[in-house]
Amino acid sequence: MKKAWALTKIYINSLYGISGFINSFKTNKKSAFKTIALILLILIGLLGTASAFIIYNIQLYDILRPINQQGIIISNSFIFAAMFTLIFGIVGIIATYFVDKEGDIILSMPLKPWNLLFAKFFTSYLYEAVLSLIIMATGVIVYGVKSGEGLLFYIISFIVSLLIPVIPLVVSYIVIIPLMKVANFLKKKDVVMIISGFIGALFGVVIQLSFQDTMMKMNKNPEVLREIFTFQNGMVSIASRIYPPSTWGTYAIIDISSTRGFTGLMLLLLTAAVAVILLHCFMSEMYLRSLIGSTEVRKSERKMTEKELKMGLRRRNILTSLLLREIRLMNREPIFFLNGPFVIFLIPAILGAMLFIQRDVIAAQLGTILRYNTSSYYSTLIVAGMGAFLGSMSSIASSAISREGKAFMYLKSMPIEPVKYINAKLLHAGIFGVMAGFITCAIGYFLMGVTIGGLMLAFIISQLLMLPSFICGLLLELTWPKLIWDNPQKAVKQNINVVIIIFGGMIFLYGTAAAVYFLLKTPIYGYLVLTIVLAVINVVLYACLISYGRKRFYEIEA
Amino acid sequence: MIEIKGVSKTYGKGKIKALNNINLEVRDGEIFGFLGPNGAGKTTTIKQITGILKPDSGTIKINGIDIVKNPVEAKKHIGFVPDNPEIFNRLRGMEYLNFIGDVYEVPEDERYKRINELSEAFEIRDALSSSINSYSHGMKQKLVLIGALLHNPSVWVLDEPMVGLDPKSAFILKEMMRKHADSGKTVFFSTHVMEVAERLCDRIGIIKKGEIIFVGTLDELRHLRKDNDSLENLFLELIEE
Ligand SMILES: Nc1ncnc2c1ncn2[C@@H]1O[C@H](COP(=O)(O)OP(=O)(O)O)[C@@H](O)[C@H]1O
Ligand SMILES: [Mg+2]
C-alpha cells in the first residue's frame, strides 16, 4: 500500500503539477499572487456556469414542492454527476493512460500490478471527485436552503458526492483497459486512443438516450404514475430502475435518519468498495500488460517507390504548409487531440443529448423569457453564444506555442515570417471555430427551431464572439509559452494560458450576455450594435497581436 | 562567411554569463572547427548565429546580412543541424522534408533530386514514409541533416554533428563538408573532440567558459608550444589553464 501511495503522489504531481503551485506559494509572492488571481478567475467562470444549474433547480423545486416530489432535484443532480463523471472519466483515463514514458521507467520499479493500477485510478478519481462535488452542489445547496436542512444533511451530501464517481470510473477502466491492450498489441496506440475517445462519448450519449426512453415508457404507465404520486418522493424510486445507486444516494441525502436512507448509504458504500476491489483483482494484470512496450510504434516496412516520393513532394505556399503542419501535429498527438479539437465534438454530444432529454422543460423555461416577438432574437443569440463557448473550449490557440515544445527553438532557425507563423496558428483555431459554429447551428436548427436566417446571423456572431479568445490565447502564448516539457500533457492540461482562456472566455461571454440582455433589447438595433462592437474589438486585438508578435517571436527563449 | 563581433550573452536575466565579448570570422572556402569542453558556450554561440537566440550585445552577419536586423533573409543562407534532433515527432519523414522545402522555397524537381540523393547516401530512404517518432536518434539526425542541406545553403552550421552518427554516415558527412568548403562555401561546426577537428578543419577556434582563447590554423596551434606534444594534450592544457 505504501508503494501504491508513493506512486500516486508521483502521478498527481506529474498530471496536475500541484507541488509547483505549492512551491510558488512558499517561495515567490508574485507568483503566489498570480495563482490566487487564477483561482479567482476559475471560480467566477464556474459560478457563471453553475448559476444556470442553480436557477434551473430553484424553479424545479418550486414546481415539485406542492406535489412532494422535490427529492428529484437530488436524484437529478446525482444522475448528472454520474453521467458527467462517466464521460469525462473515459476521456480523462485515455488522455492520462501513458504518463511520462512510464512504460520504461516506472515499469522497471519493484511494484505489484495492482499498485500501478491503484495509483492511476486514484489520480483520475481526484479530478472526478471535484467534478462530482461541483455538480452535486448545485442541487444540494438549493434543496438544503429551501428545505432548511441541518449540518448532517450537508455532511451526508458531501460523502455521497465523493462516492458518485467511483462506479463510473470503475466502468470506464473496465471498458478502456482491454481497448488499450489491443492498441498495444497492434502498436497503433494513437489511433486506438482517439477511437476510444469517440467510443466513450458515444457510450455516454447512448446511456442518456436509453435513460430518456425508459422515462418516457414509465410516464405512460398508469401503474407507475400512481406509485409516484402516492408516496412522498416516489418519483425518485423510478430512477432506480435505470441506475439503482442514484436512489440509494438520494434517500441517504434527504432522509438519512430513516431505514431507507441509512441502508441507501450503506449500499452505496458497499457497492463502491466492492467495485474498486473487483477492478483491482481482475484487471491489474491486463493493465500492466497494456503498458508494457507501449513506447514502441509501428513502422511501415514497405519500401517507397520513386513515384510515391515524387507525389509526396508537392510545393505549397508557406501559409498552407504551416497550417497543414499545425493540423497534423495536433491531430496526431492523442493528448493534444483529446484536450483540443475533440472537445468540439464531445461537448455538443453531451449537451445535445441533455437538451434533447429536457427539451420540454427547457422550452417551457425559455417561453417565459422569450415572450413578445423577440423570441427568435434571443434564441439566435443563445445559439451564437453556445457556438462561441464551444469554439473557445478547443484550446488550439491558447496552447499554440507551448505545443511546439523544444522544437520551437529549431523552428526559430528557419526563415519563417512571424506574421505568417501566427496567422497559420490563428487560422488553425479558426477552422475548428467554424466547425463549432456549424455544430451549434445544427443544434439550434433541430432542437431549438431557429430559422435559417437566424442561424446565419448566429453563425457570424459566434465567430466574432470566439475570435477574441483565440487572439488573446495567442497573445498569452507569445508572452508566456511553456516550451520545456517531456509529457505533452504539460503543454495543454497544465498550461495556465489554456485555463485562463477557458475561464476568461466564459466570463467574456457572460459579460456580453448581460450587456445584451440589459442594453440591447430590440433585434435590429441589437444585431447591428453587437456586430459592430465585436468587429471593432477583433480588429483592434488582431492589430495588437500582429505588431506584438512580429517583435516577440524573436525574443522567446526557452 | 560568418562575422561575429563583440557578442555577449547571459541566461536567466543576466545571472548566468554564457558568452563574453566573442569575436570570430569564418571565411568562405574553409571548414572552421569550434572546440571547447561541455558548457563552454558552443551551443549558445551557434544558437545566436542561427537566430534562435538574440545576442545581448554585438552583431552577427551571415554573408554580410545582419541576423538580428534581417533575420528571414539571413536564415535563407544557413543550413543548420542542432545538437539534439528534437523535431516534429508526429510528422512523417517525407512530410517533414516537404515542409522544409516549402519554408526555404525549394522548387519541386530540385527537392526531389536532393532528397533522393541524400536519403540514398544516408540510407534512410525507406524510412521516409514512417513517422519520425519511430526513428532512432541517428536516423533523426540524418533526417535533420538532409533537411538542412535541402536548399543548398552556402553556410553550414552544425552543432556536434558527429555524435550519434554511424561511422559510414560520419564519413560521408565529412566528405560532404570538405567538398562544400572546396567549392568556396562555409562550414562551421562545433565539437568537443580534438581528433575530429584535427583531421577536418582548416582553422579552429577554442572556447572556454564563454571566452575565445585561441583562433588559428592547426599549425599555429602547434607552434604555440615548442615541445612535440600531441594536439589533444595541447587542447587539454589550454582548457585547463
Ligand atoms: N537555457 C539556458 N538557461 C540557462 N543557462 C544555460 C542555458 N543554456 C545554456 N546555459 C549555460 O550556458 C553555458 C554554455 O552552455 P552551452 O552553450 O550549451 O555549452 P556547450 O554547447 O559548449 O556545451 C553553460 O554554463 C550552460 O549551463
Ligand atoms: Mg552544446
Do residues A157 and A136 lie in contact, with contact meaning Cβ atoms separated by under 8 Å? yes
Nearest CA in chain B to A296: B134
Residues A432 and A497 in one domain: yes
Whether A252 maps to a domain, the answer reads yes
Whether A211 maps to a domain, the answer reads yes
Q: Whose CA is nearest to atom 14 of ligand 1?
A: B41
Do residues B223 and B67 lie in contact, with contact meaning Cβ atoms separated by under 8 Å? no
Q: Is the pLDDT of residue A17 over 80?
A: no
Instruction: Give the whole-angstrom CA distance, residue B41 versus residue B58.
Output: 16
- Residues in A whose CB is inside 8 Å of some CB of B read 297-300, 302-304, 306, 308-310, 312-318, 321, 324-325, 328-329, 332-333, 405-407, 409-410, 412-417, 554-555, 557
Residues A248 and A329 in one domain: no
Tell me what pLDDT residue A33 has. 74
Which residues on adjacent β-strands are paired with residue B156?
Answer: B79, B187
Q: Is the pLDDT of residue A506 over 80?
A: yes
**What is the SS3 assignment for A494?**
coil
Tell me what pLDDT residue B30 has. 94
Residues A348 and A387 in one domain: yes
Instruction: Give the whole-angstrom CA distance, residue A545 versus residue A534.
Output: 16
Instruction: Give the whole-angstrom CA distance, residue B218 versus residue A471.
Output: 54
- Interchain pair A414, B75: CB under 8 A: yes
Do residues A465 and A505 lie in contact, with contact meaning Cβ atoms separated by under 8 Å? no
Instruction: Identify the residue with better confidence: A139 or A374.
Output: A139
Instruction: Give the whole-angstrom CA distance, residue A544 versus residue A539.
Output: 9
DSSP code at position A374:
G
CA of B47 from ligand 2 middle (Å) equals 10
Q: Is the pLDDT of residue A464 over 90?
A: yes
Instruction: Identify the residue with better confidence: A410 or B238.
Output: A410
Question: In Å, how far are A240, A555, B175 from A214, measured between CA atoms?
Answer: 11, 60, 76
Tell me what pLDDT residue A295 has. 63
Mean pLDDT throughout B75-93? 91
Most A CBs within 10 Å, among B15, B70, B102, B126, to test the A interface: B102
Mean pLDDT throughout A333-338? 87
Q: Residue A321's CB: how many other CB atoms inside 10 A?
A: 22
Tell me what pLDDT residue A292 has. 77
Q: Is the pLDDT of residue A477 over 70?
A: yes
Q: Residue B194's CB: how many other CB atoms inside 10 A?
A: 21
Instruction: Give the whole-angstrom CA distance, residue A430 versus residue A243.
Output: 41
Q: Whose CA is nearest to atom 9 of ligand 1?
A: B44
Q: What is the 3-state secondary structure (H, E, C) of A139-176?
A: HHHHHHHHHCCCHHHHHHHHHHHHHCCHHHHHHHHHHH
CA neighbours within 13 Å on the CB side: how many for B235? 22
The ipTM (two decimal places) reads 0.92
Which residues on adjacent β-strands are paired with residue B19?
Answer: B9
Whether A301 maps to a domain, the answer reads no
User: Measured between CA atoms, how close is B105 to chain A, in angstroms?
Assistant: 8
Instruction: Give the whole-angstrom CA distance, residue A443 versus residue A482.
Output: 36
Does residue B47 have its Cβ closer than 6 Å to ligand 1?
Answer: no
Do residues B78 and A413 lie in contact, with contact meaning Cβ atoms separated by under 8 Å? yes
Residues A234 and A120 in one domain: yes
- Interchain pair B116, A309: CB under 8 A: yes
Tell me what pLDDT residue A365 has. 53
Residues A379 and A518 in one domain: yes
Give CA torsion, residues B191, B193, B197, B198, to 10 deg: 170
User: Measured between CA atoms, how close is B146 to chain A, in angstroms?
Assistant: 14
Mutate to test the pocket of ligand 1, among B9, B11, B83, B159 (most ligand atoms within 8 A of CB): B11
B155-159 β-sheet, strand order: B78-81, B155-159, B186-191, B31-35, B203-208, B211-216
What domain count does chain A have? 2
Average pLDDT for chain A: 83
Please tell me whether the overall predicted TM-score, pTM, comes out greater than 0.90 for this model: no
When mean pLDDT is compared across A11-20, A178-187, A286-295, A511-520, the lowest value belongs to A11-20
Residues A368 and A226 in one domain: no
Do residues A516 and A530 lie in contact, with contact meaning Cβ atoms separated by under 8 Å? yes
Does residue B12 have its Cβ closer than 6 Å to ligand 1?
Answer: yes
Residues A75 and A189 in one domain: yes
Residues A551 and A512 in one domain: yes
Which residues lie closer than 8 Å to B31 by C-beta, 6 or more apart? B177, B178, B181, B187, B189, B200, B201, B202, B203
DSSP of A112-134: -HHHHHHHHHHHHHHHHHHHHHH
Tell me what pLDDT residue B72 has. 95
When mean pLDDT is compared across A120-134, B152-166, B218-232, the lowest value belongs to B218-232
Residues A224 and A94 in one domain: yes
Instruction: Give the whole-angstrom CA distance, residue A330 versus residue B38.
Output: 35
Whether A303 maps to a domain, the answer reads no
Residues A286 and A351 in one domain: no
CA of B38 from ligand 1 middle (Å) equals 9
The distance between the two most distant Cα atoms of chain A, rounded to a whole number of Å, is 80
> How would residue A429 be classed by pLDDT, with cut points 50, 70 and 90?
very high
Instruction: Give the whole-angstrom CA distance, residue B216 versus residue B24.
Output: 10
Most A CBs within 10 Å, among B90, B112, B126, B128, to test the A interface: B90
Question: In Å, how far are B77, B149, B178 from B70, measured between CA atoms?
Answer: 12, 21, 29
Q: If residue A137 lies in a helix (H) or strand (E), which one and from where to where?
A: helix A113-147
Instruction: Identify the residue with better confidence: A38 or A124.
Output: A124
Q: Is the pLDDT of residue A49 over 80?
A: no
Short-list B173, B170, B236, B178, CA closest to B208: B236
**What is the SS3 assignment for A221?**
coil
Which residues on adjacent β-strands are paired with residue B65?
Answer: B62
Residues A329 and A377 in one domain: yes
Where b means 16+ CB within 10 Å and e means fewer, A400-437 reads: bbbbbbebbbbbbbbbbebebbbbbbbbbbbbbbbbbb
Tell me what pLDDT residue A374 has. 47
Whether A297 maps to a domain, the answer reads no
CA neighbours within 13 Å on the CB side: how many for A46? 14
Q: Is the pLDDT of residue A227 over 80?
A: no
Mean pLDDT throughout B50-55? 94
Do residues A417 and A495 lie in contact, with contact meaning Cβ atoms separated by under 8 Å? no
CA B108 to centroid of chain Cα atoms: 26
Q: What is the pLDDT of residues A279-328, one digit of tens each?
A: 999 999 898 888 876 666 655 666 677 777 777 788 899 999 999 999 99
Residues A343 and A221 in one domain: no
Take residue A36 and report the three cell numbers written for it. 490566487
Mutate to test the pocket of ligand 1, among B9, B13, B16 (most ligand atoms within 8 A of CB): B16
Q: Of the candidates A249, A273, A291, which is a domain's last residue?
A: A291
What phi and psi values does residue B4 have, to the nearest 5 degrees?
-115, 120
**What is the SS3 assignment for A68?**
coil
Question: In Å, how far are A558, B10, B43, B142 from B15, measured between CA atoms?
Answer: 15, 7, 18, 36
Whether A519 maps to a domain, the answer reads yes
Whether A302 maps to a domain, the answer reads no
Give the CA angle between residues A5, A6, A9 to the nearest 5°: 85
Tell me what pLDDT residue A371 has. 44
Nearest CB to B133 within list A297, A318, A555: A297
Pairing verdict, β B31-35 and B203-208: parallel
Tell me what pLDDT residue A219 has. 60
Does residue B48 have its Cβ closer than 6 Å to ligand 1?
Answer: no
> How would residue A423 be classed by pLDDT, with cut points 50, 70 and 90?
very high
CA neighbours within 13 Å on the CB side: how many for B104? 26
Kindly list the residues from chain B whose CB atom is less than 8 angstroms away from the CB atom of residue A298.
Answer: 134
Total CB pairs under 8 A between chain A and B: 113
Tell me what pLDDT residue A475 has. 97
Whether A505 maps to a domain, the answer reads yes
Short-list A140, A523, A150, A416, CA closest to B73: A416
Q: Which domains does chain B have, with CATH numbers?
A: 1-77+155-163+185-241 (3.40.50.300), 85-153 (no CATH)
Q: Residue A202's CB: how many other CB atoms inside 10 A?
A: 13
B57-62 β-sheet, strand order: B16-26, B2-11, B57-62, B65-66
Do residues A184 and A293 lie in contact, with contact meaning Cβ atoms separated by under 8 Å? yes
Give the CA angle between residues A342, A556, B4 to the nearest 5°: 145
> How would residue A197 be classed by pLDDT, with cut points 50, 70 and 90?
confident
CA of A492 from ligand 2 middle (Å) equals 29
Highest mean predicted confidence (pLDDT) among A77-91, A244-258, A412-426:
A412-426
Instruction: Give the whole-angstrom CA distance, residue B127 versus residue B139.
Output: 9
Please count the helices (runs of H) and the strands (runs of E) in chain B: 9, 10
DSSP code at position A17:
-
Q: Is the pLDDT of residue A492 over 80?
A: yes
Instruction: Give the whole-angstrom CA distance, residue A413 versus residue B82.
Output: 10
> How would residue A372 be classed by pLDDT, with cut points 50, 70 and 90?
very low
Does residue B33 have its Cβ closer than 6 Å to ligand 1?
Answer: no
CA of B39 from ligand 2 middle (Å) equals 7
**Domain enclosing residue A459, as ranges:** 318-555
Angle, helices A418-447/A523-552, rounded to nearest 10 degrees: 150
CA of B28 from ligand 2 middle (Å) equals 24
Q: Residue A296's CB: how many other CB atoms inside 10 A?
A: 12
By CB neighbour count within 10 A (0-12 exposed, 13-18 middle, 19+ buried), where does A222 fall?
exposed
Pairing verdict, β B2-11 and B203-208: unpaired
Tell me what pLDDT residue B65 has. 96
User: Measured between CA atoms, how close is B68 to chain A, in angstroms?
Assistant: 9
